[in-house]
Amino acid sequence: MGMAKNPIDPEVREFMRTLTPYEAPTAKVTGGKVRPGTYRSLAVLGWIERRKSWPVAGIQTILLRPKEDTHVGAVTIALPITPKTERFVNALLQMYGWDGRAWPHEDDKLWPEGTDDEPQVTALMAKIGLGATLTFPPHPEMGAPSVPLHVPKSNGFFPYAPVSEFNSPPVHLEKLRAFAMDPSPFQPTEPTEPSTKTLLGAFLH
């Protein structure tokens, strides 16, 4: 199947050229039969883990058709966190609705605890063995924020281009830095599926 083209903002393209291969964000279709194209994506899990060179943020997303609520698949995004990329990573988490927390690590009794979403979040974490997840609580009236995600091909890895707002004012940047320095809250527990360690380990290594 051919690759779908996606015009990239010139400023973003220039930023991408400054990244080393170790810093470049990567993504992969990890669920469903997804055809090349642009979708609405919702973050369902997020975490940080230590890789060889840098800490990496992982975001597990589900894909929806544009202007529809039909779930068509999933994409996992790997985002190396370096001094050069941290603002982009933080801006993307911000767009997905990250509120600066990790649950249940902080034990603050906030979302998803005590809500209808708690069983689903707990089950997803248990499936891959995550000790905690970055939290993306839905807005009471507007629901979960969606981010356009371009999928150029159905199989294999593809580069993930930063969103054009990557230079937006940072929110929760210090919290992201703290988790990057110590990602131990996200360390995997024993997964319920023996072949799975973490989403990055399972799909992006």
Give me the residues of the chain with pLDDT under 50, please: 1-5, 194-199, 202-205
H or E element: which one contains 62? strand 55-64
Provide the pLDDT for residue 205. 45
Do the beta carbons of residue 134 and residue 95 sit within 8 Å?
no
Neighbours of 160 (CB within 10 A): 20
Provide the pLDDT for residue 161. 76
DSSP state of 9: -
**Range(s) of the domain holding residue 127:** 10-203
Residue 107's SS3 state is: coil
190 within a domain of the structure (yes/no): yes
5 within a domain of the structure (yes/no): no
179 within a domain of the structure (yes/no): yes
Provide the pLDDT for residue 19. 87
18 within a domain of the structure (yes/no): yes
Residue 10's SS3 state is: helix
The count of structural domains within the chain is 1
Provide the pLDDT for residue 44. 95
What is the rounded CA–CA span in Å between residue 50 and residue 164? 27
4 within a domain of the structure (yes/no): no
- Break the chain down into helix, strand, coil percent, rounded to 5: 25, 25, 50
What is the rounded CA–CA span in Å between residue 96 and residue 44? 9
2 within a domain of the structure (yes/no): no
Provide the pLDDT for residue 142. 78
3 within a domain of the structure (yes/no): no
Provide the pLDDT for residue 203. 46
Provide the pLDDT for residue 133. 96
99 within a domain of the structure (yes/no): yes
